[in-house]
Copies of this chain bind each other. A is one copy, B any other.
Amino acid sequence: MHALEQKILTEGIVLSDQVLKVDAFLNHQIDPKLMQQIGVEFAQRFKAAGISKIVTIEASGIAPAVMAGLELDVPVIFARKYQSLTLKDDLYRSKVFSFTKQTESTIAISKKHIAADDHVLIIDDFLANGHAALALVDLIQQAGATVCGIGIVIEKSFQSGRQLLDEKGFHVESLARVKSLTEGQVTFVREESN
Protein backbone atom coordinates (compact mmCIF):
# COMPACT_ATOMS: atom_id res chain seq x y z
CA MET A 1 0.00 0.00 0.00
CA HIS A 2 1.79 3.02 -1.36
CA ALA A 3 0.47 5.71 1.03
CA LEU A 4 1.46 3.61 4.04
CA GLU A 5 4.95 2.90 2.70
CA GLN A 6 5.47 6.60 2.04
CA LYS A 7 4.33 7.41 5.58
CA ILE A 8 6.77 4.85 7.00
CA LEU A 9 9.61 6.32 4.93
CA THR A 10 8.87 9.91 5.92
CA GLU A 11 7.75 9.52 9.54
CA GLY A 12 8.97 6.12 10.73
CA ILE A 13 12.10 5.98 12.87
CA VAL A 14 14.48 3.04 12.69
CA LEU A 15 15.56 2.45 16.29
CA SER A 16 17.65 -0.63 15.49
CA ASP A 17 17.82 -3.28 12.79
CA GLN A 18 14.91 -4.97 14.60
CA VAL A 19 12.70 -2.09 15.75
CA LEU A 20 10.74 0.38 13.63
CA LYS A 21 9.03 3.15 15.56
CA VAL A 22 5.83 4.49 14.04
CA ASP A 23 4.60 6.53 17.00
CA ALA A 24 4.00 9.48 14.67
CA PHE A 25 0.97 7.93 12.93
CA LEU A 26 0.04 4.51 14.36
CA ASN A 27 1.29 3.54 17.84
CA HIS A 28 0.91 6.78 19.81
CA GLN A 29 -0.19 9.58 17.52
CA ILE A 30 -2.72 8.33 14.97
CA ASP A 31 -3.36 9.69 11.47
CA PRO A 32 -7.13 9.21 11.07
CA LYS A 33 -7.18 9.67 7.28
CA LEU A 34 -4.45 7.08 6.84
CA MET A 35 -6.39 4.72 9.14
CA GLN A 36 -9.43 5.22 6.92
CA GLN A 37 -7.39 4.32 3.82
CA ILE A 38 -6.07 1.26 5.67
CA GLY A 39 -9.62 0.24 6.57
CA VAL A 40 -10.71 0.54 2.95
CA GLU A 41 -7.71 -1.51 1.82
CA PHE A 42 -8.35 -4.31 4.35
CA ALA A 43 -12.02 -4.39 3.35
CA GLN A 44 -11.04 -4.66 -0.31
CA ARG A 45 -8.64 -7.54 0.35
CA PHE A 46 -11.00 -9.53 2.60
CA LYS A 47 -14.48 -8.61 1.30
CA ALA A 48 -14.89 -11.97 -0.43
CA ALA A 49 -14.24 -13.91 2.79
CA GLY A 50 -17.68 -13.45 4.37
CA ILE A 51 -16.33 -11.76 7.51
CA SER A 52 -18.82 -11.46 10.40
CA LYS A 53 -16.49 -10.01 13.04
CA ILE A 54 -13.06 -8.41 13.42
CA VAL A 55 -10.80 -9.23 16.37
CA THR A 56 -7.76 -7.12 17.33
CA ILE A 57 -5.67 -6.35 20.45
CA GLU A 58 -5.62 -3.11 22.40
CA ALA A 59 -4.35 -0.51 21.91
CA SER A 60 -2.68 0.08 18.54
CA GLY A 61 -4.82 -2.40 16.64
CA ILE A 62 -8.04 -0.57 17.46
CA ALA A 63 -7.87 2.31 14.96
CA PRO A 64 -7.17 0.23 11.82
CA ALA A 65 -9.60 -2.49 12.99
CA VAL A 66 -12.47 -0.05 13.57
CA MET A 67 -11.93 1.54 10.16
CA ALA A 68 -11.97 -1.91 8.54
CA GLY A 69 -15.09 -2.76 10.55
CA LEU A 70 -16.76 0.40 9.29
CA GLU A 71 -16.06 -0.60 5.68
CA LEU A 72 -17.04 -4.24 6.12
CA ASP A 73 -20.04 -3.31 8.32
CA VAL A 74 -19.13 -5.76 11.09
CA PRO A 75 -18.46 -5.35 14.84
CA VAL A 76 -14.90 -5.15 16.15
CA ILE A 77 -13.70 -6.78 19.37
CA PHE A 78 -10.43 -5.79 20.95
CA ALA A 79 -8.79 -8.39 23.16
CA ARG A 80 -7.84 -6.88 26.50
CA LYS A 81 -4.43 -7.33 28.05
CA TYR A 82 -5.71 -7.41 31.60
CA GLN A 83 -8.96 -8.20 33.33
CA SER A 84 -10.88 -5.13 34.36
CA LEU A 85 -13.60 -4.95 36.97
CA THR A 86 -16.30 -4.66 34.32
CA LEU A 87 -14.96 -7.55 32.23
CA LYS A 88 -16.02 -10.33 34.59
CA ASP A 89 -17.73 -12.66 32.15
CA ASP A 90 -16.44 -15.99 31.19
CA LEU A 91 -13.37 -15.26 29.13
CA TYR A 92 -11.30 -16.99 26.50
CA ARG A 93 -7.68 -16.41 27.50
CA SER A 94 -4.33 -16.87 25.76
CA LYS A 95 -0.76 -15.90 26.54
CA VAL A 96 1.30 -13.70 24.25
CA PHE A 97 4.97 -12.79 24.39
CA SER A 98 5.70 -9.27 23.18
CA PHE A 99 8.86 -9.03 21.12
CA THR A 100 8.97 -5.25 21.55
CA LYS A 101 8.48 -5.24 25.31
CA GLN A 102 10.11 -8.60 26.10
CA THR A 103 7.25 -9.46 28.44
CA GLU A 104 4.56 -12.12 28.53
CA SER A 105 0.98 -11.06 29.05
CA THR A 106 -2.45 -12.66 29.04
CA ILE A 107 -5.02 -11.45 26.54
CA ALA A 108 -8.71 -12.18 26.82
CA ILE A 109 -12.02 -11.76 25.06
CA SER A 110 -15.47 -12.21 26.50
CA LYS A 111 -17.17 -15.45 25.47
CA LYS A 112 -20.42 -13.63 24.84
CA HIS A 113 -19.02 -11.56 21.97
CA ILE A 114 -17.81 -14.40 19.77
CA ALA A 115 -19.79 -17.42 18.58
CA ALA A 116 -19.02 -20.70 16.83
CA ASP A 117 -20.61 -19.44 13.60
CA ASP A 118 -18.46 -16.30 13.45
CA HIS A 119 -16.10 -15.80 10.51
CA VAL A 120 -13.35 -13.71 11.97
CA LEU A 121 -10.81 -11.35 10.44
CA ILE A 122 -7.83 -10.71 12.74
CA ILE A 123 -6.26 -7.27 12.42
CA ASP A 124 -3.09 -6.11 14.14
CA ASP A 125 -0.67 -3.22 13.78
CA PHE A 126 2.57 -5.25 13.55
CA LEU A 127 3.58 -8.78 12.62
CA ALA A 128 6.98 -9.82 13.96
CA ASN A 129 7.28 -13.32 15.39
CA GLY A 130 3.57 -13.95 15.03
CA HIS A 131 2.98 -14.52 18.73
CA ALA A 132 0.21 -11.94 19.02
CA ALA A 133 -1.57 -13.18 15.90
CA LEU A 134 -1.38 -16.79 17.07
CA ALA A 135 -2.74 -15.83 20.50
CA LEU A 136 -5.70 -14.20 18.74
CA VAL A 137 -6.13 -17.31 16.58
CA ASP A 138 -6.14 -19.36 19.79
CA LEU A 139 -8.90 -17.20 21.34
CA ILE A 140 -11.04 -17.48 18.21
CA GLN A 141 -10.54 -21.23 17.90
CA GLN A 142 -11.44 -21.70 21.59
CA ALA A 143 -14.82 -20.24 20.61
CA GLY A 144 -15.10 -22.73 17.75
CA ALA A 145 -15.19 -19.81 15.30
CA THR A 146 -13.40 -19.67 11.94
CA VAL A 147 -10.33 -17.52 11.25
CA CYS A 148 -10.90 -16.22 7.71
CA GLY A 149 -7.84 -14.04 7.45
CA ILE A 150 -5.16 -12.01 9.16
CA GLY A 151 -4.69 -8.36 8.18
CA ILE A 152 -1.45 -6.71 9.27
CA VAL A 153 -0.60 -3.03 8.93
CA ILE A 154 3.20 -3.43 9.05
CA GLU A 155 4.94 -6.79 8.65
CA LYS A 156 8.59 -7.19 9.56
CA SER A 157 9.25 -9.78 6.87
CA PHE A 158 12.76 -10.49 8.19
CA GLN A 159 11.25 -12.05 11.31
CA SER A 160 9.55 -15.43 11.42
CA GLY A 161 5.88 -14.51 11.85
CA ARG A 162 4.80 -14.31 8.23
CA GLN A 163 6.32 -17.63 7.27
CA LEU A 164 4.80 -19.26 10.37
CA LEU A 165 1.30 -17.99 9.55
CA ASP A 166 1.67 -18.94 5.87
CA GLU A 167 2.75 -22.46 6.84
CA LYS A 168 -0.34 -22.81 9.02
CA GLY A 169 -2.44 -21.99 5.98
CA PHE A 170 -3.81 -18.62 7.01
CA HIS A 171 -4.70 -15.96 4.47
CA VAL A 172 -2.37 -13.14 5.50
CA GLU A 173 -2.47 -9.67 3.98
CA SER A 174 0.17 -7.17 5.11
CA LEU A 175 -0.21 -3.60 3.87
CA ALA A 176 3.49 -2.83 4.23
CA ARG A 177 6.14 -5.57 4.20
CA VAL A 178 9.44 -4.41 5.66
CA LYS A 179 12.29 -6.42 4.18
CA SER A 180 15.07 -4.85 6.21
CA LEU A 181 15.89 -2.12 8.73
CA THR A 182 19.68 -2.38 8.42
CA GLU A 183 21.86 0.73 8.42
CA GLY A 184 18.93 2.85 9.56
CA GLN A 185 17.12 2.36 6.23
CA VAL A 186 13.67 0.90 5.65
CA THR A 187 13.41 -1.28 2.56
CA PHE A 188 10.23 -3.05 1.48
CA VAL A 189 9.47 -6.46 0.00
CA ARG A 190 8.42 -5.87 -3.61
CA GLU A 191 5.46 -7.93 -4.81
CA GLU A 192 3.50 -7.94 -8.04
CA SER A 193 0.31 -7.38 -6.06
CA ASN A 194 1.72 -4.14 -4.62
In the complex, what's the smallest C-beta–C-beta distance from A30 to chain B, in angstroms? 4
Q: Which residues of B contact A58 (CB under 8 A)?
A: 58-59
Which chain B residue has the least Cβ–Cβ distance from A99? B85
Among A32, A59, A77, A110, the most chain B Cβ lie within 10 Å of the Cβ of A32
A78 interface neighbour in B59, B69, B87, Cβ under 8 Å: B59
Task: List the B side residues contacting A24 at CB < 8 Å.
Answer: 113
Taking CB atoms and an 8 Å cut-off, the chain A residues in 10-53 that contact chain B are 15, 19, 21, 23-25, 27-33, 35-36
Is the Cβ of B66 less than 8 Å from the Cβ of A32? yes
CB distance from A10 to the nearest CB of B (A): 14
State the copy count for this chain: 2
A124 CA / B15 CA spacing, docked (Å): 31
Q: Taking the complex as formed, is A193 at the interface, i.e. its CB lies under 8 A from any CB of chain B?
A: no
Contact B62 A29 (CB under 8 A): no
Q: Report A159 CB to chain B, min CB distance, Å.
A: 15
A125 to chain B, nearest CB (A): 11
Q: Is A100 located at the chain interface by the 8 A CB criterion?
A: yes
> Shortest Cβ distance from A126 into chain B, in angstroms?
10
CB distance from A115 to the nearest CB of B (A): 12
**CB-defined contacts of A194 to chain B, threshold 8 Å:** none
Question: Of the candidates B28, B29, B66, B80, which one forms a contact with A28 in the assembled complex, judged by CB atoms under 8 Å apart?
Answer: B80
CB pair B86–A32 under 8 Å, yes or no, is: no
Q: Is A152 part of the contact surface with B, judged by Cβ < 8 Å?
A: no
- Residues in chain A within 8 A of chain B (CB atoms): 15, 19, 21, 23-25, 27-33, 35-36, 58-59, 62-63, 66-67, 69-70, 73-78, 80, 84-87, 100-102, 109-110, 113
Q: List 16 A-B contacts (CB under 8 A).
A: A15-B86, A19-B85, A25-B75, A27-B87, A28-B109, A29-B110, A30-B76, A32-B73, A35-B66, A36-B70, A58-B58, A58-B59, A62-B62, A62-B63, A66-B67, A85-B102
